[in-house]
Amino acid sequence: GQQVMQIPQYQHVQEGEDFTTYCNSSTTLSNIQWYKQRPGGHPVFLIQLVKSGEVKKQKRLTFQFGEAKKNSSLHITATQTTDVGTYFCAGRSGGSNYKLTFGKGTLLTVNP
Amino acid sequence: DAGITQSPRHKVTETGTPVTLRCHQTENHRYMYWYRQDPGHGLRLIHYSYGVKDTDKGEVSDGYSVSRSKTEDFLLTLESATSSQTSVYFCAIKGLGADTQYFGPGTRLTVL
């Protein structure tokens, strides 16, 4: 079945440093989504990418979808303590009845 | 949030006992999902529903059953709980016109 790999598993940064997490799928995706989960909370939707090569920005967050629609990245510029949490990517292959396959997530911790 | 509640929020039970978790939505959405979240495994799909009385298995469905007799309620049952089912369980709904999923607050289940 479809597999979504996400790296790194953990990342610790000093406040102000940049952060990137990468997501790779074993199959071509119809779209990819990113979620954030604060410690003790539930996953919250951040963004969806649909088009090959798409780049979207949300303030300090930049999301990219690869040309082959099999990989994606999330980059945070100048991290803040409010960025702490686990970031998940989730992809759907065509015809999968709206089931998403989630990556295992990257836990980001930020030292103030 | 998207009008999703889960009950109970916390439960401790003993091996071999039946357990039912409830997910309730007020959004009248067709698709509902049950995930479990464990350290090192991310979010894994247990079962999902694409309408009243229409359900299907996810990647980790063994030991679990579901029912959906009304649009707003999706029940997850552990017929005979085992310690390996100790986990945090999240319910989610799919938003309209997109693959975006909105998660409930989660249920922390401990099986002793």
Three-class HEC string of B21-62? EEEEECCCCCCEEEEEEECCCEEEEEEEEEECCEEEECCCCC
Identity at A25, one-letter amino acid code: S
In angstroms, the first-to-last Cα distance of chain B is 32
Residue A59, chain B, CB below 8 Å: the answer is no
pLDDT for A25-63, tens place per residue?
Answer: 999 999 999 999 999 999 999 999 999 999 999 999 999
pLDDT at A1: 73
pLDDT at A2: 78
Spatial CA neighbour of A69 closest among A85, A93, A47, A38: A93
pLDDT for B22-78, tens place per residue?
Answer: 999 998 899 999 999 998 888 999 999 999 999 999 999 999 999 999 999 999 999
Q: Do B43 and A43 touch (CB under 8 A)?
A: yes
Per-residue confidence band for A13, with pLDDT thresholds at 50, 70 and 90? very high
Do residues A71 and A7 make contact, with C-beta atoms less than 8 angstroms apart?
no
Which residues from B are below 8 Å from A44, CB to CB?
103
As a three-state string, the secondary structure of B54-109 is EEEECCCCCCEEEEEEECCEEEEEECCCCHHHCEEEEEEEECCCCCCEEECCCEEE
Residue A31, chain B, CB below 8 Å: the answer is yes
Spatial CA neighbour of B28 closest among B83, B85, B70: B70
Residue A95, chain B, CB below 8 Å: the answer is no
Q: Do A33 and B106 touch (CB under 8 A)?
A: no
CA angle A106, A33, A73 (to 5 degrees): 55
A-to-B residue pairs, Cβ atoms closer than 8 angstroms:
55
Contacts of residue A17, defined as CB under 8 A and 6 or more positions apart, other chains included, come to: A78, A79
Residue B13, chain A, CB below 8 Å: the answer is no
pLDDT at A43: 97
For residue A77 the two structure tokens come to 């510029």
Report the sign of the C-alpha dihedral through residues A82, A102, B8, B93, in that order: positive
pLDDT for A55-97, tens place per residue?
Answer: 999 999 999 999 999 999 999 999 999 999 999 999 987 666 6
* B31: nearest CB among A30, A98, A105: A98
pLDDT at A109: 97
For residue A5 the two structure tokens come to 């790999």
Q: Do A99 and B48 touch (CB under 8 A)?
A: yes
Contacts of residue B85, defined as CB under 8 A and 6 or more positions apart, other chains included, come to: B36, B63, B78, B109, B111
- Whether the per-residue pLDDT at B1 is higher than 60: the answer is no
For residue A42 the two structure tokens come to 């539930």
Question: Which of A10, A21, A37, A45 to probe the B interface (max B CBs under 10 A)?
Answer: A45
